[in-house]
Amino acid sequence: MEEKIVVRKNTYRKEAIIVALQRYLKNYWVTISEDETNYCIQFESKSGDNVGVSENEFNNQLIEAEFIYMKSMESLPIRTTIMKKALEPYHGENG
Amino acid sequence: MARMAETFVLSKDFYPSSFLSECASDNGEKGVGLSVDKSDSMIRKRESCNQYLIDEYNRLLKKSEQATKSFRFSDLPALNHFRSLKISEDEYFISVDTGNWMILARDDFELLKSNTPNVSLAKNLEKNFILLTGENIDSYTNKLRLRYGFLSEGPTLHIVVVTSNCNLSCIYCQASATNVAAKNMSKETAIETVNRIFESPSDSFIIEFQGGEPLMNFSAVKTIITYANQRAKRENKQVEYSLISNFTSIVTEEKLRFLLENNVSICFSLDGPKELHEMNRGRNYPNAFDILKEKVELYKQTWKSIKDEPINLKALMTTTRTSLPLFKEIVDTYIDFGTTQISIRVLTPLGKASETNKNLSYTPEEFIDFWKQSVAYILQLRTKGIDISEFYLELILTKLFGNETGFMDLRSPCGAGYGQITYNYDGQVYTCDEGRMIYSDYFNIGNVFNQNLSSILRSERAIDVHNASILEQYYCDYCAFKPYCGVCPVLHYQQKGTLQTNVLETDHCNVFSRMIMHVVQSLLNDPLARKEFEKILLGVNWQKIES
């Protein structure tokens, strides 16, 4: 019914954990506890079924989330500038 | 699974202090997470925990907007914003905002991630706009401009609900049609509706007649077409018409003749073989399938007497739980009727088909299995020379290979109140067809009698709705399939009571992301499917090639 996964605070940033957890919120109640060095993520099945989240699977999700978040932040300037240039002809008087 | 130490407390990094204090006083301890009891109050707290994670995520997206530094074109070459998705053990799907995409092997993906591509990889990245240089930057911005050209067009699809009456009582009716004469559009409302439509800045647009059964108020259909034709001629605008009908006894040669003479594109409902089609039509209309066949025959004859060109039969099916094992029979029925395309649509949980109707509904996984089986069968038939294809397969292929299709459900922002508007029989205006089907006036954005189109489109509600369909605010912005997809604020509202929601929880995301994944994987791994996809994209008639 519930599983707990411990994640070291100095390995993944908080933002990556938030991004990675979005996928699980439909089927699980997720609560995050902490001590000085770790976060403990508790998954509890909403339906009462067994929790189908493994530590390995969640770690993979964290790696992916860390990457997409970082890339998204890095590439935002180029994306914003080019989109603005592309849409220039459609902007009205007020931009 | 790691064991928890007793010293863990709810994290102050993820939850506000007021919530932490509330939980601490409830539990009477600093304890681990929340108590696992199933009381209403504990369930509410768990829901709050989930909601805080969603709120934090939304704040993250907003924070990243504020963090924008400037980029200058003199900084090129530079890596573009790309999204990635692992699609097999060794392959990654990479896409950019124009919809250009490529598959990278794991080693190349690692080089891309570290921004250290070798010469040959760099060339491929440049070709697909993942690497932007002085050579490709203009093509890229032009392509983006074309892709978002619809933003400046104004509404191009005007849906007119001329009646909410219907002679059938289909078990899944999303429009909740009834049989009440007072729910017909009057002549005065029809004229005012056309007046509002012609205030649209677009030079060409489509007027689509819907119901209920639109042919039950044929006088309104005639009024609108006649008046719109006069206005179009006078104002040099192009109007096309379409009409969706159940093709029952209400169809007469006189009506068909008028519609065809005015180039109305007609689409009829066909759910599959006789037993399934009639079961879906409800108890009060026996022999619906035989009558439909008879009316389609009448349509074909009327077409031949008016037009020189080959007939283009269009039909719409709705998938219910009963349809799921009948994929072959459904496709075969479409072929028997002479249609060359089937649109395998997931049931939209609105009206009678709302989520509470478990006899009709199915899981996204069940629907995707059904869609995949149907597509596989269609591809198999095509290899035998039978001209049949599937709407969503064509749509995804067209989007993957670079063209914006104009299909408003899968784009950002979606069509609601932006590309399409729905005018109800009583003069009320809604953001879209789905918006008028919901049991609420939430998506009502005005009235044809006391507002012009501009003020309707600028209403606070209309702006809220189309803002809610912009994908950059959702997890979609991290998804590699974002350029080919969209969200539906009406479904968000129906399911969660808010315009915005966590898209990963929606059936819409579950269904469309899996459809796109299936097409991509078939392209990569199934040579037979790839060959047929190429023909579908070229729009080439298989039988003509064979001959």
Taking each helix axis from N to C terminus, what angle separates B253-261 and B218-235, rounded to the nearest 10 degrees? 10
Going by C-beta distance under 8 Å and a sequence separation of 6 or more, which residues neighbour residue B313?
Answer: B296, B299, B300, B337, B338, B339, B340
Task: Indicate the class that CATH gives domain A2-91.
Answer: alpha beta
Q: Please tell me the distance from the alpha carbon of residue B541 to that of residue B454, in angstroms, as a whole number.
A: 43
| pTM, to two decimals | 0.85
Q: Using the beta-carbon criterion (under 8 Å), do A79 and B10 form an inter-chain contact?
A: no
pLDDT at A87: 78
Q: pLDDT tens digit string along B493-537?
A: 888 788 888 888 889 999 999 999 999 999 999 999 999 999 888
Question: Of B129, B503, B9, B358, nearest to A34 (Cα)?
Answer: B9
**Is the pLDDT assigned to residue B30 strictly greater than 50?**
no
Q: Please tell me the distance from the alpha carbon of residue A44 to that of residue A48, in angstroms, as a whole number.
A: 8
Q: Please tell me the distance from the alpha carbon of residue B124 to that of residue B95, in angstroms, as a whole number.
A: 13
Range scoring the smallest mean pLDDT among A6-10, B61-65, B160-164, B228-232: B61-65
pLDDT at A78: 84
Q: Using the beta-carbon criterion (under 8 Å), do B8 and A35 form an inter-chain contact?
A: yes
Q: Does A53 touch chain B (CB under 8 A)?
A: no
Percentage, residues of chain A above pLDDT 90: 25
pLDDT at B386: 95
Percentage, residues of chain B above pLDDT 70: 90
B200, B158 Cβ separation under 8 angstroms: yes
Which of A84-93, B28-37, B237-246, B409-418 has maximum average pLDDT? B237-246
Q: Please tell me the distance from the alpha carbon of residue B453 to that of residue B449, in angstroms, as a whole number.
A: 10
Mean pLDDT of the B65-91 span: 85
Q: What pairs with residue A43 in β-bridges?
A: A3, A30
Q: Using the beta-carbon criterion (under 8 Å), do B81 and A40 form an inter-chain contact?
A: no
In sign, the C-alpha dihedral spanning B283, B286, B291, B293 is: positive
Q: Using the beta-carbon criterion (under 8 Å), do B1 and A4 form an inter-chain contact?
A: yes
Mean pLDDT of the B19-24 span: 82
Q: Please tell me the distance from the alpha carbon of residue B508 to that of residue B517, in angstroms, as a whole number.
A: 14
Phi, psi angle pair for A76, to nearest 5°:
-60, -45
pLDDT classification of B304: cutoffs 50, 70, 90: very high
Please tell me which of the candidates B79, B141, B149 has its beta carbon nearest to residue A75: B79
Please tell me which of the candidates A18, A33, A55 has its beta carbon nearest to residue B8: A33
Q: Please tell me the distance from the alpha carbon of residue B488 to that of residue B476, in angstroms, as a whole number.
A: 13
**Is the pLDDT assigned to residue B388 strictly greater than 90?**
yes
Range scoring the smallest mean pLDDT among A31-45, B194-208, B255-269, B349-363: B349-363
SS3 B448: coil
Place of tokens 């093709």: B247
pLDDT classification of B417: cutoffs 50, 70, 90: confident
Q: Please tell me the distance from the alpha carbon of residue B487 to that of residue B468, in angstroms, as a whole number.
A: 9
Q: Does A84 touch chain B (CB under 8 A)?
A: no
**Is the pLDDT assigned to residue B543 strictly greater than 80?**
no
Q: Does A72 touch chain B (CB under 8 A)?
A: yes
Question: Of B163, B161, B231, nearest to B199 (Cα)?
Answer: B231
Q: Using the beta-carbon criterion (under 8 Å), do A26 and B15 form an inter-chain contact?
A: no
A11: distance to nearest CA of chain B, Å? 15
Q: Using the beta-carbon criterion (under 8 Å), do B1 and A5 form an inter-chain contact?
A: yes
Q: What does the mean pLDDT of chain B come to?
A: 88
